Amino acid sequence: MNLLDIIAKAKSEKATSLDLSQKELRLLPPELFEIETLEELNLDRNKLVEIPDEIGKLKNLKSLSISENDLMELPETIGDLKKLEHLYLGYNSLSELPASVGNLVNLRTVNIAKNQMLDLPQEIGNWKKVVKLSLHDNMLSEIPASIGKMESLVKLYLDNNDLTSIPGTLGELSNLEILMVSGNSLGAVPSELGNLKKLRELVLDANQLSTLPESLAQCDSLETISVVENPMEGGIPRILLDKKGLKVDQ
């Protein structure tokens, strides 16, 4: 069955799910955007360089996966997908996101890992329901302070970027349990991270840290801090080494 037949069948059946992964697609036919019943669309492992503006017509989409393509950019109309809960964009060539992603207020999981992201729009602060955000293996040099508004965030992956600092507003993420920032160029860790009462795992390997803030001792749930491959000239504060139940890898 060729692509247009698959799409026609899905439309006539009012399909809610469509898997078009691994079909060597370079372009998406306009007919695809007429299946307004779609809630789940999988376009992984194709050869897509862009997504047409018409994606905004699929207003019932809850899950959109376009991983492992050659995407250079996303259209502003992505912001029209107000019901979207899961957005998977890993392994592409994206360098930025349109500000309209801030309209996607129902997102729960977002994966933009393994791209060429240089920065993030302030509007990510609107992602109040996102639980897991994967931004590892990009070229990010800073994280907007607005990330502190992502109040549901539990897991944040920032490893292997170009970060020299992370914002103190991360200390406002009261549900954060896992924070991965290995493979950057961090010179210091903000003391505000001591406010993270649910933080369990803090991984800071391969940075430029000379010490850690004593305030981390206030993280009641903290089980592991890893600072392997850091200069650590100032050493680990005694209060952390003595903290019951905390393992420090260095």
The domain 117-250 having CATH identifier 3.80.10.10: the answer here is: yes
- Please tell me the distance from the alpha carbon of residue 12 to that of residue 23, in angstroms, as a whole number: 21
Comparing 1-89 with 117-250, is the CATH topology the same?
yes
Q: What is the pLDDT along the chain (250 residues), one digit of tens a residue?
A: 899 999 999 999 999 999 999 999 999 999 999 999 999 999 999 999 999 999 999 999 999 999 999 999 999 999 999 999 999 999 999 999 999 999 999 999 999 999 999 999 999 999 999 999 999 999 999 999 999 999 999 999 999 999 999 999 999 999 999 999 999 999 999 999 999 999 999 999 999 999 999 999 999 999 999 999 999 999 999 999 999 999 999 9
**Beta strands 155-157 and 132-134, pairing class:** parallel
Residue with tokens 């019932």: 60
Segments making up each domain of the chain, as ranges: 1-89, 117-250
**15 close to 41: Cβ distance less than 8 angstroms:** no
Name the superfamily (CATH) of residues 1-89: Ribonuclease Inhibitor (3.80.10.10)
C-beta of residue 46 within 8 angstroms of C-beta of residue 67: no
pTM recorded for the entire structure: 0.97
